[in-house]
Chain A
Amino acid sequence: MDFVVSQLLTGLSLSSILLLVALGLAIIYGVTGVINLAHGEFVMLGAYCAWLLQTQLGWGLLPSLIPIFVAVALLGLAVEYLVIRHLYDRPLDTILATWGLGVMAQQIVRLLAGGELRYVQMPAALSGSVNILGATDSAYRLFVLAVALGLFALTWYVYRHTSIGLQLRAITQNRQIASSFGINAGRAYRLTFAYGAGIAGLAGALISPLKSVSPEMGTGYVVDAFMVVVVGGVQSLFGTVVSSGLLGELTGALAYLSNDTIAKALVLAAVVVIIRFRPQGLFTPRIRA
C-alpha cells in the first residue's frame, strides 16, 4: 500500500517538474504564438544563477528564488525587445532565431562558467524526508510540487481575473481587433515573454539541487516542455496542468513497472497516438472564431 502512495507521490513530483518547465512555454506559445526553442536555455540560466549566487555570494536557494526570477525575466524582456518582436509574423524565423539564441547561451555559459558539471546545495530545512500515509518522500520534492501549483494558481488568476489577463485573452483570440480597441499588444507580448522566461528560470533554480547543472541541461527540458504543451492543448493553461500530471504519473508508473528506458519510449509513443487522434491537444478553449 505505501508503495502505491509513494509511487503516486513520485508521479506527482515528476509532474511538478514538467509543469514548472512547461508553464513558461505554454504562456509564451499560447499568447504570442512564438515557438521558443531557447526555453530550455532559460531553465539552464536559472540553474546557473542559483549556482552563482550560492558559490559567489553564499546565498541559499530559497532567498535566491525571487532575484533569479527577476534576472531571467529581464533577460527575456531584452531578448523579446532585441530579437523576437521583429519576427512575430514569421514563425519559421522565430524557430531559427530562438534556436540560435539557445546555442549562443550554451556556449557563453560554457566560456564563462566552464564545462564542468555543477551542483546546487539543497536548503537544509528541506533536505530531510517526510512521512505521508506510510510512504516516505523527499521534503524538497514536495516543496517543488507546492511551488509549481502555487505558480500555476497565480498565473491562472492573472490570466482569468485581472485586466491584463483580459487583454491577453483578447489578443490571443484576435490581435488586430484587440489592437483596434486600444490594447497595446506589443507591450502585452513583451511582458508575457518576460514572465514566461522568468518562470523558466525559476524552474531551473528549483530543479538544480536534484539534477546536475551543465550548459547542455536545457536541451532535454525543452523537449519535455513541448510534449506537455502539445498534449495539453496549445492555448489551454488548464490543459498544461492536466497533461503534465498525466505524463508525470504515466512516466513514473511505467518506470516503476519496467524501467526508465522503456517508460521513455512508451510515453513518447502515447504522445504520438494522442496527437494523431486529437491534434489540437486534450483541451481546447471554446472560441467563436
Chain B
Amino acid sequence: MKNDRRTFIKHAAAAGAFTAAGFPHIWSKNASLAYAQSGQIKVGVLFSLTGTTAIIEESLNKATIMAIEEINAAGGINGLKIVPVVEDPASDPATFAEKARKLVLSDKCVSVFGSYTSASRKAVLPVFERQANLFFYPTLYEGRECSKNVIYTGAVPNQQQDDFVPWLVEKFGKRWYMIGSNYIYPKEENNYCKKLLKSLGAEVIAEEYVPLGHSEFSSVINKFRSEKPNVIFSTVVGDSVVALHRQYRAAGLDPATMPMASLTTSENEVAAMGGDAAAGHFTSAPYFMVHESPENRRFVEAYRKRWGADKVTHFVSESSYFQVHLFKQAVAKLKAGDINPLTIREALKGEQFQAPQGLVKVEPENLHCWLHPKIGQCQSDGQFKILKQSANWLEPNPYSAYPNQKCTAEGLKEI
C-alpha cells in the first residue's frame, strides 16, 4: 500500500516535471524517495576554497572530506556510500546562498555541511528553512538563533565563558578591558561576558570595537598601558588577531600580569602570528590539538596523514569532523526509504558521539551540542597547554545573554 503510493508519487512527479521544476518547494517533501538511491546518499560540502576566509575554511573542508572518506572506507551507512558534492562559495554570502540553493534543489543533497562566518550562515538559512533541508554548522558563534533546520556543533557563548570568565577573575582580577572586531559576534559575546562579570562583582573598564581587518593597534595598546586592566577580553578576529598580538609583544607588555583572553585564537591563528607572540595568552574552546584522548590521537594522526604532516587541527576543524559522524549515526538509524532531511533531524536529537574532545550530544530542544569546554594557555611552540577542563559536558544555551528567551523544540519561546 505504502509502496504503491510512493510509486504513484514518483510517476506523478515525473509526469509533472514541468510544474515541478517551476515549483520545486511543493515537491520537496515528497522527494525523500530520491535521497537514498542506487546505494548512494548525496551531501553538500560548502566551505570557501577561495577568497578572504578560505585560509580557515579550507581546513574545515579537509576535515569534512576526511570524515566522509573514513565512513565510506568502513562500509558507508548501512551499505549506502556518502557522495560529497563540493562547492566553493568564494567567501561571499550571496554566493553561499546561491550554492546552497544548487546543492539542495538541483543536486538533491539530503544535508549540507558548511560555512564559517555568521554572515554566510545567515545567508544560507532561508534556503534550508524554506526547502525543509538540513544544514550542519561547525563554527563557534554568538548564539541567539533557534533554527529548526540547522545542527550547530560549535560552541555558543555560555559554553566558552561559564568556566573561563570566573577562572580569569579569580586568577587575574576584576578590571576587564574588552576589545573586539566591529560586528555582531564580538558584541553578543561581550553581552554575555558583561552579565557574568556583573554577577562576579567585576567591572568592565572599556568596551571597544575596531573595524574588521584593522591592523594598527598602537592607540589601543596605549590605552592598555594607561588603564592597566587585569584581563583583556579579546574578540578580535581574522588578520587583526595577528596584528594585535604582534604589536602587544613589540610594545613590551607582559601576559603574566595583563593576559589576553580570547574565544577565537586557535592553533590556526597562532600558526599565523608565531608562537612567540601568542605565548602566555589564554583561549577557551571545547578542543585543543594537544588534548589527550585515543579519539584525538587517531584524529590528528589521520588528518596529518591525509593532508600533510605540518597541518594543525583546531576546534572548528574538530567539530567539522565529528558532525559528519553524527550525521552518519542518525542516518544509520533510518530505513533507506525513510531518509530525508527531517527524519535525519529527528534521529539526531539526543544522538551521541565519542568525538576527539570527548563525548558530545545533540540537544533535542535547540539542536546545539553538549560540549566539553577547556581552558588553554598558548606556548611558544604554537600549541596550547590545557590548564582546566570542565568536569562535565556543558549544555548549550544559545540565549544565555537573554534570560527571558528560550530556544525549544517548538521554536523560540518568551518566558
Give A residues with C-beta under 8 Å from B.
3, 6-7, 10, 13-14, 17, 115-119, 121-122, 127-129, 136-138, 140-141, 209-212, 214, 216-217, 220, 251-252, 255-256, 259-261, 263-264
Contact = CB atoms under 8 A, between A and B. Distances in A.
Given A256-B223, A260-B211, A261-B182, A216 B55 contact: no
Contacts of B52: 216
B252 A136 contact: yes
B222 A209 contact: no
B214 A260 contact: yes
Nearest to A254: B219
B220 A255 contact: yes
Contacts of A129: 250-252
Interface residues of B, number: 35
Contacts of A115: 54-55, 58
B250 A119 contact: no
Contacts of A252: 218-219
Nearest to B241: A212
B272 A138 contact: no
Contact of B209 (A116, A119, A140, A261): A261
A212 B218 contact: no
B274 A264 contact: no
Nearest to A258: B208
Given A127-B250, A210-B250, A117 B219 contact: no
B228 to A, nearest CB: 12
A119 B247 CA distance: 12
Contacts of A6: 222, 225
A259 B177 CA distance: 13
Given A115-B55, A116-B272, A117-B239, A122 B250 contact: yes
A209 B246 contact: yes
B272 A211 contact: no
Nearest to A117: B272
B219 A10 contact: yes
B199 interface: no
Contacts of B276: 121
The 5 lowest CB-CB distance pairs between A and B, nearest first, are A129-B252, A255-B219, A117-B272, A212-B242, A212-B239
Interface string B226-262: 1000000000000100110011011110000000000
Given A252-B218, A260-B214, A260-B216, 14 more contacts: A6-B222, A10-B218, A116-B272, A117-B55, A121-B274, A121-B276, A127-B250, A128-B252, A210-B246, A211-B239, A212-B243, A216-B52, A217-B215, A220-B213
A209 B216 CA distance: 12
Interface in B247-287: 247, 249-252, 271-274, 276-277
A152 B130 CA distance: 61
A138 B222 CA distance: 11
B196 interface: no
B218 A136 contact: no
B125 to A, nearest CB: 27
